[in-house]
Amino acid sequence: MSYEKVEQAKKTIIGTKQTVKAIRAGKVTEVIIAKDAEVRIVSPVLEEAQLHGIPVHYVDSKEKLGNACGIQVGAAVIAITV
């Protein structure tokens, strides 16, 4: 999974709570998680994604993931939506 895919995505959701809500609503096509994010932060997203059969991809850095989304802070979880 590359950061370019996140940059090119037309619609993304940033953050754990919002991603879980979007997965439950059936709006998410895939989830991207930073490997350096804390397990307690990303585990709710991993559980929901597994329940709903959403593919999960990993990137190395929260900081780079945040930059790919156009925000000035790190992002642990990003959802690409339809």
CATH no. for residue 44?
Answer: 3.30.1330.30
pLDDT digits (tens, 9 = 90+) for 59-77: 999 999 999 999 999 999 9
Alpha-carbon distances of 36 from 7, 33, 70, 80, rounded to whole Å: 20, 9, 19, 20
Predicted confidence (pLDDT) at residue 1 exceeds the cutoff of 60 = no
Mean pLDDT of the chain: 94
3-state class of 33 per DSSP?
strand
Q: What are 1's two structure tokens?
A: 């999974």
Q: In what order do the strands lie in the sheet with 56-59?
A: 12-14, 77-81, 28-34, 56-59
* Mean pLDDT confidence for 21-31: 96
Q: How many domains are contained in the chain?
A: 1
pLDDT digits (tens, 9 = 90+) for 38-67: 999 999 999 999 999 999 999 999 999 999
Which range marks the domain in which residue 61 is found?
A: 3-81
